[in-house]
Amino acid sequence: MKSNSANANKEAFYILVSIILGLLVGFALYYSGNQELANYIKPVGDVFLKFLKMIIVPLVLASIFMAIINIGSPDELGSMGIRAMAYYFMTTAIAVFIGIIMVNLIQPGVGVDISSITSELSEAQTQKFQNSASKGLGSTIVGVLLDAIPTNPFKAMVDMKILQIIVFSLFLGIVSLLNKKVAMPLINFMESLEKVSMIMIEVIMKIAPFGIFALMTYVIANSGFNAIYGLSKYMIAVILGLFFHFLVLIFIASWRHKSSPFFIIKSCIPPMLTAFSTASSASTLPITMNAVQDNLGVNKKTAQFVLPLGATINMDGTALYESVAVIFIGQAYGLDLSIANQIIIFITASLAAVGAAAIPGAGLVTMSIVLSAVGYPLEGIALILAVDRILDMFRTMINVFGDCVGTVVVDSFSKNDR
């Protein structure tokens, strides 16, 4: 696979430096009691985030559409879709399995003094978790599927409903492919929109180091580190689990890409660290799109098709985190942790992650489905609330890395079809 190595090196280096500086400045502001100074830096991060979000709708619309046109055959499209789904399914299952092993080995919830770390759930939060839990898994999955079909594609774009945009764009693309003559002006328009979007991403990449620095500084300066001490074992279980899953993904990527782990990591640093600082797979999508094509040399049509889908439904990190968090709550409250319950957690956490939106904090909401599936109290969420943002950063980073590896895997298997 071809790649643009020198560029990748430079990007990775600047972004690494920016994240380290952000961490240092953030810690300095936090420990010197000057958190409010971070408010002056935050707008730089907001500008970066806004530009990223600005590009999502045109990018998803044009990418999926052009992927269909470029793939050119419904058969190839189908096999690419099946491969992507198989990859999502398998890696999510591996992630949850690792999470369950970690939390059973480390047992972070055993002996936890519940009263010392419980933060209050606001009324709005309780309502949100209850709503999500009361829907149950069945209707959540059916709901996700039904909700994916837009009744008004323009509203879907206005509301940034990525799954709805994907479905509309798929439909539009397939019909255009089968009626190329009438669709030619539309195809030309979409082709141009896709190309210009990619150029816009390159421009946004130039401010990425500044944006990431600002976002990191703000988050670290405003983190409640006091809460971390009480929850450190739980955090270690999540982060170690994510790390092991990261190793599994690197192994898969190196094998399918036929290159060194170091090359894979370096190529994925820009999207991974953007995911870390934004805690949103959706906001990171433009950077991910750029990295898999430019740095990993993934075929354009694979990236166009697999990435928007992956960013929305493939969340290994979230699935792993949900399983650890639920079992942690079970341990802390001394609830039933039988194999049967852990199997229910395994299944529901895998599916609840699919239902989680690609935005900050979404995993925490769908976790209530897992809790209620095993009959654990929703109030347990209050135990882990204080460190959720920090863990969100780690799990989003793995979600996005999983998406990058997914395109490599699907691309490597689809080569024979070309």
Nearest residue (CB) to ligand ASP, 162 versus 177 = 162
Residue 99 in the binding site for ligand ASP (CB under 6 A): no
Nearest residue (CB) to ligand ASP, 290 versus 399 = 399
Stretch that binds ligand ASP, among 69-77, 159-167, 276-284, 331-339 (CB under 6 A): 276-284
- Residues of this chain, 311-350, that bind ligand ASP according to CB under 6 A: 315, 318
Residue 257 in the binding site for ligand ASP (CB under 6 A): no
Residue 7 CB, shortest distance to ligand ASP, in Å, is 26
Nearest residue (CB) to ligand ASP, 3 versus 372 = 372
Residue 360 in the binding site for ligand ASP (CB under 6 A): yes
Among 363, 380, 402, 406, binds ligand ASP (CB under 6 A): 363
Residue 348 CB, shortest distance to ligand ASP, in Å, is 15
Residue 280 CB, shortest distance to ligand ASP, in Å, is 4
- Tokens describing residue 86: 């198989």
Residue 362 in the binding site for ligand ASP (CB under 6 A): yes
Residue 356 in the binding site for ligand ASP (CB under 6 A): yes
Site string for ligand ASP, 286-315 (x = CB under 6 A): -----------------------------x
Q: Which residue number places its CB atom closest to ligand ASP?
A: 363
Nearest to 329 by CA among 347, 345, 351, 350: 345
Nearest residue (CB) to ligand ASP, 177 versus 268 = 268
Among 71, 359, 371, 390, binds ligand ASP (CB under 6 A): 359
Residue 395 in the binding site for ligand ASP (CB under 6 A): yes
Tokens 């109290």 — which residue? 377
Nearest residue (CB) to ligand ASP, 77 versus 285 = 285
Nearest residue (CB) to ligand ASP, 109 versus 363 = 363
Among 85, 171, 361, 379, binds ligand ASP (CB under 6 A): 361
Q: Could you tell me which residues come within 8 angstroms of residue 176 by beta carbon, excluding any fewer than 6 positions away? A: 65, 68, 69, 183, 186, 187
Residue 333 CB: number of other CB atoms within 10 A?
16
Residue 397 CB, shortest distance to ligand ASP, in Å, is 9
Among 280, 288, 304, 323, binds ligand ASP (CB under 6 A): 280
Q: Are 12 and 269 in contact (CB under 8 A)?
A: yes
Residue 397 in the binding site for ligand ASP (CB under 6 A): no
Residue 236 CB: number of other CB atoms within 10 A?
13
Residue 358 in the binding site for ligand ASP (CB under 6 A): yes
Residue 19 in the binding site for ligand ASP (CB under 6 A): no
Residue 195 CB, shortest distance to ligand ASP, in Å, is 27
Residue 92 CB, shortest distance to ligand ASP, in Å, is 12
- Residues of this chain, 106-145, that bind ligand ASP according to CB under 6 A: none
Report how far residue 177's alpha carbon sits from residue 182's, in angstroms, rounded to the nearest whole number.
Answer: 10
Three-state DSSP string of the chain: CCCCHHHHHHHHHHHHHHHHHHHHHHHHHHHCCCHHHHHHHHHHHHHHHHHHHHHHHHHHHHHHHHHHHHHCCHHHHHHHHHHHHHHHHHHHHHHHHHHHHHHHHHCCCCCCCHHHHCCCCCHHHHHHHHHHHHHHHHHHHHHHHHHCCCCCHHHHHHCCCHHHHHHHHHHHHHHHHHCHHHHHHHHHHHHHHHHHHHHHHHHHHHHHHHHHHHHHHHHHHCCCHHHHHHCHHHHHHHHHHHHHHHHHHHHHHHHHHCCCHHHHHHHHHHHHHHHHHHCCHHHHHHHHHHHHHHCCCCCHHHHHHHHHHHHHHCCHHHHHHHHHHHHHHHHHHCCCCCHHHHHHHHHHHHHHHHHCCCCCCHHHHHHHHHHHHCCCCHHHHHHHHHHHHHHHHHHHHHHHHHHHHHHHHHHHHHHHHC
Among 102, 214, 279, 373, binds ligand ASP (CB under 6 A): 279
Among 18, 132, 267, 281, binds ligand ASP (CB under 6 A): 281
- Residues at the site binding ligand ASP, with contacts judged by CB under 6 A: 279-281, 315, 318, 356, 358-363, 392, 395-396, 399
